[in-house]
Amino acid sequence: MKGFVLRCWIAAAAVVLSLAVGLGQQSRSPIPVPLGLLPVQFPKDNPYSTEKAELGKLLYFDPRLSGDNSVSCATCHSPQFGYTDGKAVSTGIRGQKGGRSAPTVINRAYSLAQFWDGRAPTLEAQAIGPIANPIEMDQTHDSCIDKLRGIAGYRQLFAKVFGTEQFTIDHVAKAIATFERTVLSGNSPYDKYKAGNKGAMNASQVRGMNVYFGKAKCDQCHEGINFTSNAYHNLGVGTDKPNPDEGRFAVTKNPEDWGAFKTPTLRDIARTAPYMHDGSLATLEDVVEFYDKGGTANKNLDKTMKPLKLTAQEKTDLAAFLRALNGEGWQSIKAPAKFPQ
């Protein structure tokens, strides 16, 4: 019961945060945001600047952040696949396979804790985690900084942005996180429809919207402007496997969090297949079927997971509505043509 209350509290906190931003910070976003989104807030200890975002973009796409110069952040979070990698689980340095699907970077500015299990409290902490992960980029933070400091072009850029050539991994984290907060998606057919353009969605998508907010009650977890409560839920994904992923439990050690994973955004969901933390569902239709059956039974199955008993038409329409959440904004970001030398 405590876990359920905590998840409700987290969801409520996210709503309050969104309202606070929407009501009190409308004029404070330093970057433009697409229709349907709220202003982006940057941390007080990591304010936005164009130069910092540009530096972060270079670092994000630069494979030299990895131990053998083969893997960048963009390897697993590529614009080509909606800032994922289009694979069930990601491939890191030396062809090693991870155990989870790469979540999208899109709209991470509106997210709270990062990673499927929420182990990183900020986007800054998330940005540098993979660098030292032996499966992902396999380079100690000290080695990474030594390598970057050995590149004259980076020394000049860090000096311009942070006022020192003796930059640290914290500076790298701040630069990458600043860039990632500019990767936005809005102005989708749904946003346009909601704003008054009733021709922005077709009849199937409109029916699917009614299923989403009505019979299926998808917005119990996928709510708000970013279609996520930022809370953790056990849907039963992978719990029937020999060695199930413990999910949030590995972070909190709370038995009620066993098998629970962070609710992802549904923005651009049609562009970020496959789905779920293990990439086990290939299509949106597969996802709808999974929810329709009520997930996979296990000791911690979320109480909201119950058979939906949707008709064939309702399933088709619901998937159509999810495709109406494909937006615009992030496509304007282009990978660097060259890197500092």
Average pLDDT (165-169) is 98
**Whether residue 113 has pLDDT greater than 80:** yes
User: Which pLDDT belongs to residue 2?
Assistant: 44
Q: Which residue is catalytic, options 136, 180, 256, 314? A: 136
Region 57-73 average pLDDT: 98
Rounded percentage of the chain residues whose pLDDT exceeds 70: 92
128-144 pLDDT, tens digit per residue, is: 999 999 999 999 999 99
Calpha distance 88→93 (Å, rounded): 17
| Residue range 228-285, pLDDT digits in tens | 999 999 999 999 999 999 999 999 999 999 999 999 999 999 999 999 999 999 999 9
At 275, list the tokens.
Answer: 């789905």
Task: Write down the pLDDT at residue 61.
Answer: 98
Cα gap 56→109, rounded to integer Å = 14
Using the predicted structure, report yes or no on whether residue 17 has a pLDDT greater than 90.
no
Q: Is 289 a catalytic residue?
A: no
**Candidate from 24-33, 154-163, 170-179, 291-300 with smallest mean pLDDT:** 24-33
| Whether the predicted pLDDT of 9 surpasses 70 | no
Instruction: Dump pLDDT digits (tens) for 183-198.
Output: 999 999 999 999 999 9
Taking every pair of Cα atoms in the chain, the longest distance, rounded to a whole number of angstroms, is 62
> Is residue 7 over pLDDT 90?
no
Q: Is the peptide bond before 274 cis (omega within 30 degrees of 0)?
A: yes
pTM (predicted TM-score): 0.91
Mean pLDDT over each residue of the chain, to the nearest integer:
93
Query: Are the C-beta atoms of 100 and 135 separated by less than 8 Å?
Result: no
The band of 112, judged by pLDDT with boundaries at 50, 70 and 90, is confident
29 pLDDT band, cuts 50/70/90, is confident
Q: Does 158 have pLDDT greater than 90?
A: yes
Tell me the percentage of the chain whose pLDDT exceeds 90: 91
Q: 190 CB contacts (<8 Å, ≥6 apart)?
A: 36, 200, 201, 205, 209, 321, 324, 325
In the predicted model, what is the mean pLDDT of residues 8-34?
A: 55
The full set of domains in the chain, from first to last, is 42-184 (1.10.760.10), 186-328 (1.10.760.10)
Token pair 């330093």 in the structure block, residue: 30
Both tokens of 306, joined, read 């119950």
Task: Give 1's pLDDT tier (boundaries 50, 70, 90).
Answer: very low
pLDDT band at 148 (very low <50, low <70, confident <90, very high): very high
Average pLDDT value for residue range 136-164: 98
Nearest to 227 by CA among 83, 85, 81, 15: 15
pLDDT in tens, 210-236: 999 999 999 999 999 999 999 999 999
Averaged pLDDT, 137-164: 98
Taking Cα atoms as reference points, which of 202, 142, 130 lies closest to residue 168? Answer: 142
Mean of pLDDT values over 190-211: 98
Taking the C-alpha atoms of residue 180 and residue 85, their distance in angstroms, rounded to an integer, is 16
DSSP run (H or E) holding 314:
helix 312-323
